[in-house]
Amino acid sequence: MQIEIFSKVKDPRDLGKVKHELEDVLRMALIGVLCDCEDCDDISDMVTDREEEFKAAGLLKLSNGVPCGDTILRVVESVNPAQLRASLDCCRGHIIESLCGNQVIIDGKKLRGENPRSPGCHGLYILNAWVSETEICVAEKPVDGKTNELTVLPSVLSSLWLTGALVSVDAMGTHRNIAEQIMLQGGDYLMALKDNQPILKSLTESIFSRTTPLSVYTTEEKGHGRVEKRTCSIMDTTLLEQEGMYEKWPGLKRIIKMERERTENGARSRETIYYLSSVEKDEASYYAMRIRAHWGIENKLHWHLDVTFREDMCRVRAKNGAVNFSAMRKYALEMLKKQNDKLSLKRRRKKCMWSTEYLYKVFKDS
């Protein structure tokens, strides 16, 4: 089944000295991620032990034997992340061709493993764009340690076809220029409003304190010894626009108040967060659903990268290694989720390691 996965990646090596095919080396790295290998030496050792199995299944060619761990690492570190990303996007096919009707969630994740050769390095920060409905990561970009997410966010948005999509961001992305860019690209936005917009937040709090909302929606969940109550209220922007200090926000149609009250073991906590949205709907339930969906990126992507794939344990930091392995983990997660069996994702990784037949099926179904 030697369909090229990494067809858009240009070989950065001196072709006169190349012993192992680029597709084979990168495919080995992806197999290692699927098979719960801890590092590139593990990958090389595993493939060496099962070389004939992998060749017979068509997973690898290995025309000149199995590359060592250092070779695999050097190749992954040296290939262009944008080209690697483009190759994996081709494999995702029609899933990311149109985001119309979907919620695109933007959030960052830090890879906390430290490189012992780089004192003071506390991990790479990557900004991810994740689709709630398909659970697919459709864009990712590293954030330079000397800057912040806001400087990278415009380029992440520019890489996506946002017509008809709802883009949700936390407070770091709540800026007029970001709202304007999303609208210009044909999308809508849902933005958390916190202390980085103090005047607008104060006005919003004041309006909700003295005015009856257009709509209110309340849910209550019980389980594991705790009770959580969520109340979502919405307003239009009429009163906001009457305030002299308010500078009109691009496309703004609704302001939203989300109150969370949690009781656990007799202790009660409360939290109130405000949101801005360009979507003009009169049902608070719509916004409550979208706000809740925003946190799916933490539970269904970031949690699995940390726990299922132990991303924070990875010590690869040189050149493009961390970014490229992160992209492979996200693609491997998508591959494993497609398996229609009763195994957990962790056990599916283990089974990929134990069973060439199962590993072949994971590739075949992707």
220 φ, ψ (degrees, to nearest 5): -140, 130
Same domain? 64 vs 99: no
Q: How many C-beta atoms lie closer than 10 Å to residue 155's C-beta?
A: 11
Q: Are 349 and 336 in contact (CB under 8 A)?
A: yes
pLDDT of residue 116 exceeding 60? no
Same domain? 149 vs 219: yes
Q: Are 251 and 179 in contact (CB under 8 A)?
A: yes
Same domain? 226 vs 101: yes
Structure-token match 């004939």, residue found: 52
Average of per-residue pLDDT across 66-94: 90
Q: Residue 120 has what pLDDT? A: 46
- Identify the H or E element spanning 124: strand 124-131
From 81-90, 124-133, 144-153, 222-231, the region with the lowest mean pLDDT: 144-153
Instruction: Please give the torsion angle defined by the CA atoms of residues 125, 131, 133 and 136, in that order, rounded to the nearest 10 degrees.
Output: -70
Q: Residue 114 has what pLDDT? A: 45
- The amino acid at residue 327 is A
Query: Would you say residue 89 lies in a domain?
Result: no
Mean pLDDT of the chain: 90
Q: Are 224 and 213 in contact (CB under 8 A)?
A: no
Query: Would you say residue 313 lies in a domain?
Result: no
| CATH assignment at residue 257 | 3.90.350.10
Q: Residue 366 has what pLDDT? A: 80
Q: What predicted TM-score, i.e. pTM, was given to this entire model?
A: 0.90
- Domain tally, the chain: 2
- Where among 256, 276, 302 does a domain terminate? 302
Q: List the alpha helices (DSSP H) in 79-230.
A: 81-92, 149-158, 176-184, 198-210
Three-state DSSP class for residue 343: coil
Residue 338, both tokens: 């497609």
Q: Residue 112 has what pLDDT? A: 63
Query: Would you say residue 131 lies in a domain?
Result: yes
Same domain? 219 vs 113: yes
DSSP bridge partners of 107: 128
Same domain? 324 vs 217: no
Please give the residue range of the domain that contains residue 57: 15-80+320-364
pLDDT of residue 102 exceeding 90? yes
Same domain? 285 vs 329: no
Same domain? 76 vs 99: no
Q: Could you give the strand order of the β-sheet that contains 215-223, starting from the edge strand earlier in sequence?
A: 136-143, 124-131, 103-111, 166-169, 188-193, 267-277, 254-264, 226-235, 215-223
Query: Would you say residue 47 lies in a domain?
Result: yes
Q: pLDDT tens digit string along 174-204?
A: 999 999 999 999 999 999 999 889 999 999 9
Q: Report how far apart, in Å, the C-alpha atoms of 99 and of each of 131, 176, 186, 191 are.
A: 8, 22, 11, 18
pLDDT of residue 351 exceeding 50? yes
Query: Would you say residue 155 lies in a domain?
Result: yes
DSSP bridge partners of 229: 220, 261
Same domain? 191 vs 113: yes
CA 23 to chain CA centroid, nearest Å: 25
Same domain? 186 vs 272: yes
The DSSP result for 131-170, as a single string, is ETTTTEEEEEEEE-TTS-HHHHHHHHHHTS--TT-EEEE-
Instruction: Please give the torsion angle defined by the CA atoms of residues 351, 363, 133 and 136, in that order, rounded to the nearest 10 degrees.
Output: 100
Q: pLDDT tens digit string along 315-328?
A: 777 788 889 999 99
Same domain? 164 vs 250: yes
Same domain? 275 vs 359: no
Average of per-residue pLDDT across 67-76: 95
118 closest CA partner among 313, 327, 319, 324: 319
Query: Would you say residue 121 lies in a domain?
Result: yes
**Rounded to 5°, angle at Cα 226 from 221 and 232:** 40
Average of per-residue pLDDT across 117-128: 66
The count of residues in the chain is 366
Confidence of residue 119 (pLDDT cuts 50, 70, 90): very low
Q: Hey, what long-range contacts does 215-222 have (CB within 8 A, 24 or more apart)?
A: 215/282, 215/283, 215/284, 215/285, 216/284, 217/283, 217/284, 217/285, 217/288, 219/288
Query: Would you say residue 311 lies in a domain?
Result: no
Query: Would you say residue 271 lies in a domain?
Result: yes
Average of per-residue pLDDT across 268-280: 95
DSSP bridge partners of 130: 105, 137
Average of per-residue pLDDT across 217-242: 91
- The amino acid at residue 178 is I
Same domain? 37 vs 159: no
Q: Residue 265 has what pLDDT? A: 79
